[in-house]
Structure 1
Amino acid sequence: MSFKYKFEKIMHVKEREKDEALDIYNQATRRFEEAATKLYELLKKKEDLDRLQSERLVSGLQVVEMRYQQQFISNLEKTISHYQKRVMNARTQMYYYQEKLAEKMTEYKKYEVIKDKKKMQYVSEMKRLENIEMDDISIQQFIHKEL
């Protein structure tokens, strides 16, 4: 007779929920990383443009060119602001899904611990029954030898 866990189906459902939560969390992490990378690139671009503009001001710069660069930097700042919001939202979502994943993992782990305890009880009960059976066999052999 082999061990059968009575909550096996529930455990499979919890495992599937945990796996789905992990996938969702990984997607949220990927979205956060993409938004953060894009924000970093935009900030780096703005820094480079600011440095270039400072260098060009020293060497001389036409008003039209300066106005064009200011407009470009202004648009870049709007884009940066947009990506800062996206990064904050993506981070919030990532933390939310991280909490959900932790909950699902805890639920699954509870069933896993219960299963392990039940299996240990089953094994110890089987050993106890085997010992009783061995004792009975020994007693029968002893009785047969005496006769």
Structure 2
Amino acid sequence: MSYQFKFSKLLTVKEREKDEAQTVYQDSVKKFREVADHLYQLLKKKEDLQTFQSDQLERGLSIQEIRHNQQFLTNIEKTISYYQELVINARNRMNWNEQLLQDRNVEVKKYEKIRERDLIQYKEWMNHTESKQLDEISTMQFSFRNGTR
């Protein structure tokens, strides 16, 4: 008689759900990194522009150039604000997916623990059954030897 875990199909489903959650989580981490990197690049660009503008002001700029730089800076700030929202949303999605993955891991571990305990019980039952059979065989052999003498 071979061991068959009674919840094996359910465990398979839970493992598949965990794998899917892992994939979704990894995708959300990747998306978060991409958006955060883009935000970083925009912040760096803004800093560089401010440094450039500061240097130009010391040398002297025309009003038209100042307006142009200020408009460019305003546009970058709007874009930064937009990407900050994207980063917040991506972080929230990533955290939610991480929690979902952790929940799936817990579910799988529960079923694996049940399987381990069930396997231990099965082995104990098999050992007990085997021991009973050996006792019966020994008794029969003893009876057979004593009955023929």
TM-score, normalised to structure 2, is 0.91
**Structure 1 outlier segments of 4+, above 6 Å:** none
**Runs (5+) with no aligned partner, structure 2:** none
Q: 1: distance between equivalents of 2:136 and 2:53?
A: 97
Specify the code of the residue in structure 2 equivalent to 1:20.
E
The C-alpha deviation readout for 1:2-59, integer Å capped at 9, x for no partner, is 1101111111111111111111111111111111010011101111111111111112
CA RMSD of aligned residues (A): 1.4
Shift of 1:145: 4.4
**Runs (5+) with no aligned partner, structure 1:** none
Shift of 1:74: 0.6
Task: Please identify, of 71-80 and 95-104, the stretch whose mean Cα deviation from structure 2 is larger.
Answer: 95-104
Task: Please identify, of 99-108 and 39-48, the stretch whose mean Cα deviation from structure 2 is larger.
Answer: 99-108
Q: 1: distance between equivalents of 2:133 and 2:50?
A: 87
Shift of 1:137: 2.9
Aligned length: 147
* Aligned ranges 1:83-94 → 2 under 5 Å: 83-94=83-94
* Aligned ranges 1:17-36 → 2 under 5 Å: 17-36=17-36
Q: What does residue 136 of structure 1 align with? A: 136
Q: What does residue 99 of structure 1 align with? A: 99
Specify the code of the residue in structure 2 equivalent to 1:102.
Q
Q: What does residue 119 of structure 2 align with? A: 119
Q: 2: distance between equivalents of 1:141 and 1:53?
A: 104
Q: What does residue 80 of structure 1 align with? A: 80
TM-score, normalised to structure 1, is 0.92
Q: 2: distance between equivalents of 1:69 and 1:134?
A: 94
Q: 1: distance between equivalents of 2:62 and 2:123?
A: 87
Q: 2: distance between equivalents of 1:42 and 1:138?
A: 85
Shift of 1:88: 0.3
Task: Please identify, of 136-145 and 19-28, the stretch whose mean Cα deviation from structure 2 is larger.
Answer: 136-145
* Aligned ranges 1:8-19 → 2 under 5 Å: 8-19=8-19
Shift of 1:144: 4.3
